[in-house]
Structure 1
Amino acid sequence: MKFDVNCSILFTDRPLLERPAAAKAAGFDGVEFWWPFAAAVPGDRAVDAFAAAVEDAGVQLVGLNFLDDIPEGGRGLFSRPGDRVRLRDNLDVAAGIAGRLGCRALNALYGNRVPGLSERWQDEVALENLALAARKAAAVGAVVLVEALNSYESPSYPLVSVKGAIDVIEGAGEPNVRFLCDLYHLARMGEDLTAALAHPLVGHVQIADSPGRGRPGTGELPLGRLLDGYDGWVGLEYKDPGLDFSWIKEFAQ
């Protein structure tokens, strides 16, 4: 098991381009990010500066979101018909970053429901976009991730169970679409976490303790037991203003 730190939720007291080095200084060899740019298709300077910051820090980019609307309070664009062009204009940019940095996982947040539009239409748009994204990701040796969130914090997000996410993954019809197993969100929804981790389509794991979304040890989840024997990257996607990573030593015991 290897821990990587999500620098879009941790180290946010530092400018974006300083976060990979801060993660390295804290002892991490891997980082992941939500979409790190303001523009849908950032200019070469923005992409190059981001990629250089990761390279110069000597860390692995483990995961990267495709263009998302998290800063605007959203939960992704893949199912949103009005954002189809905006999203598709971004796919090559995200895949290019992944190819340059050896990133093997690109997260495709499904998107909140759009009131007044057919849910069936939104789901069809999502599957089309996922299939296109998967083909572009495959060209650089990456997988596309589909994530289930919890309905308490994301009430308009339709994928709130392992089954819901797996149905979408299978519907996309591409061999490199995988499940992002976020134990915090699944725990909030009462899912069987052991079964979720054992699912053959798991492509990446993220953790936070529950309730509270704090660092391991601040809630009720037996994360050490759950992850015992898991040998992939585990993304730290929790809230901790104090940046206390002392739990990792205890976690490994």
Structure 2
Amino acid sequence: MPRFAANLSLLYTEHAFLDRFQAAAADGFDSVECLFPYAFEPAEVAQRLQRHGLRQVLFNAPPGDWDAGERGLAALPGREQAFRDGFIHQALPWARALRCPRVHVMAGCMPAGVPRQALEELFLDNLRWAARLAAEEGIELLIEPLNPRDVPGYLLQRQEDAHRLVQALGEPNVKVQMDLYHCQVTEGDLAMKLRQWLPTGRVGHIQFAGVPERHEPDVGELNYPYLFGLIDELGYTGVASAEYRPRAGTSEGLSWLRRWKAGQA
């Protein structure tokens, strides 16, 4: 059975952020992730994890000016120092404090007039620098393709592009974050994409949501019981994180999790 985690930035928003850890544990999750934890003190979050027996499995490196539309800095010309400062002074200390084994490094949206090759080269340079620092602490970095409907202009949109860059980089602690929602919206043929990419060993984390509305996985066009079974069949042993927007209360919408656990008992 996949090891399920709850994304606390999207799930349990009926609670204050620091109270979401207790709610997730009460519903049977033993792992959590979030987008950006930086509005709080690391010790506060670490205490909630310890109190409720949870593991933090992922968060994102600082994305730049989110309100201004930035969606990552690692591939943005002129933002190199901001990326490196955020990684050294925020992402790494937080990963240490939470004992979090993975950090997602967002590339950013492509600025007009800059060739894609130049952006990819900058992304690789920044990733290589960050990966070597992270490796000293046993931390894995992830890059993730995002669909163009939700994040127009994002540098990475297809699985093949992320895998190509990971291969070109050649750093063993850099892998791909495969979000099944984004993959289905952009590429479709999701079962075959899983069959193509999971056996490479380059997928370090999976996320999922229903398509097209990004609600619970039992709502929409995808057959997640089949996909979860396929993930098991393909030998993936990492985490699969629920990263969706509940329709009407997080706990009320977890029938998919209860059914899956009952079927695997």
Considering the TM-score relative to the shorter chain, is it more than 0.5?
yes
Deviation for aligned residue 1:57: 2.8
1:76 to 68, 72, 75: 72
Q: Which amino acid aligns with 2:47?
A: A
Q: Which runs of no fewer than 5 residues in structure 1 stay unpaired?
A: 39-44
Q: Report the CA distance shift for 1:151/1:199 in structure 2 as closer, same or farther (over 3 A).
A: farther
1:236 to 238, 242, 245: 242
SS of alignment partner, residue 4 of structure 2? strand
SS of alignment partner, residue 143 of structure 2? strand
2:49 to 40, 47, 54: 54
Aligned partner of 1:107 in structure 2 is: 104
Aligned partner of 1:123 in structure 2 is: 120
Aligned partner of 1:248 in structure 2 is: 257
Aligned partner of 2:34 in structure 1 is: 33
Residues 65, 109 of structure 1: 8 Å contact kept: yes
Matched, 1:90 2:96: no
Aligned partner of 1:179 in structure 2 is: 176
Deviation for aligned residue 1:182: 0.7
Aligned partner of 1:9 in structure 2 is: 10
**Count of residue correspondences:** 247
SS of alignment partner, residue 178 of structure 2? strand
Residues 175, 202 of structure 2: 8 Å contact kept: yes
Residues in 2 aligned to 1:197 and 1:117: alpha-carbon distance in whole angstroms? 32
1:141 to 133, 138, 143: 138
Q: Which amino acid aligns with 2:193?
A: L
Deviation for aligned residue 1:155: 1.9
CA displacement, residues 30-74 of structure 1 (integer Å, 9 cap, x when unaligned): 110112225xxxxxx723223333233321001111111484243
Deviation for aligned residue 1:97: 2.2
SS of alignment partner, residue 13 of structure 2? coil
Q: How large is the Cα RMSD of the aligned pairs?
A: 2.0
Q: Which runs of no fewer than 5 residues in structure 2 stay unpaired?
A: none
Residues in 1 aligned to 2:175 and 2:13: alpha-carbon distance in whole angstroms? 28
SS of alignment partner, residue 79 of structure 2? helix
Residues in 1 aligned to 2:80 and 2:174: alpha-carbon distance in whole angstroms? 19
TM-score, normalisation: structure 1: 0.89
